[in-house]
Structure 1
Amino acid sequence: MQLHITGHQVEVTPAIRSYAEEKMARVKKHFDHHLDIKMILSVEKLQQRAEATLHTAGKNHFADATAADLYAAIDLLADKLDRMAVKLKEKMKDHHRGESAAKQEKFG
């Protein structure tokens, strides 16, 4: 898993970086192949914002979270990405389990 963390008007300290890596490890367990996550941490007035783009095979998925505390925003973002990863994995699994149209139709 590649995790790129950048800060916009926020300094990304080693503590914040390790906390984000720990939380994003939950997302990694849902995928066997290469996973790339780009995370942007920013401050908007009194709100802390965390946003991430999840790059999977051929698709990009975006999620963001806002909270009063940066660590809480990272937690909310990790929860959103985890739910998104589960949904994507189930969608891929269900897509390949379908029967062909010819087997389902009754002829004659």
Structure 2
Amino acid sequence: MNLTISGHHLEVTPAIREYVQSKLERVKRHFDQVIDIAVILTVDNLTEKEKRQKAEINVRLPGKTVNVASLSHDLYAAIDSLIDKLDRQVVKYKSQVQDHNHQAIKHLLEADTPAPA
């Protein structure tokens, strides 16, 4: 798994990098087949003081790419919100993949009916 953390108008400090990596452990615990993760942390130079910190993540999974973004006035709050959203989407994708692998109902019904004599 490749992890890329970059900053736009922001220097990614080791503390921020460690915080993001520790939060991503929760996602890896739910779904371990992650191919690639790209995190982009941004500070927008807006005139209003609200929601200037932005966190985005692109996660490549087998067969799907999950994109999530979060805005907040605090970078750590934006990262927390981002990981919550990403966790919900990864759990949803995992359940879809698991449900898809089950046999179809029509095949189960064919196996239950006895062969004509």
Q: Same fold (TM over 0.5)?
A: yes
Identity percentage over the alignment? 46
Q: Does 1:66 align with 2:71?
A: yes
Q: Could you report, residue by residue, the CA deviation over 1:46-76 in whole angstroms, capped at 9, with x for unpaired residues?
A: 4100000010113211000000000000000
Which 5+ residue runs of structure 1 have no aligned equivalent? Answer: none
Q: In 1, are the aligned partners of 2:34 and 2:59 still within 8 Å (CA)?
A: no
Q: TM-score, normalised by structure 2?
A: 0.82
Q: TM-score, normalised by structure 1?
A: 0.88
Q: Does 1:88 align with 2:93?
A: yes
1:10 Cα offset (Å): 0.6
Residue 37 of structure 1 aligns to a residue in which SS?
A: strand
Q: In 2, are the aligned partners of 1:6 and 1:40 still within 8 Å (CA)?
A: yes
The size of the alignment, in residue pairs, is 106
Q: In 1, are the aligned partners of 2:34 and 2:60 still within 8 Å (CA)?
A: no
Task: Find the aligned partners of 1:90 and 1:40 in 2 and give their Cα distance.
Answer: 27
Q: Does 1:26 align with 2:26?
A: yes
Q: In 2, are the aligned partners of 1:28 and 1:35 still within 8 Å (CA)?
A: no
Residue 2 of structure 1 is matched in structure 2 by 2
Which 5+ residue runs of structure 2 have no aligned equivalent? Answer: none
Task: Find the aligned partners of 2:32 and 2:76 in 1 and give their Cα distance.
Answer: 27
Residue 27 of structure 2 aligns to a residue in which SS?
A: helix
Largest Rg, 1 or 2: 2
RMSD: 1.7
Of Structure 1 and Structure 2, the greater strand share is in: 1
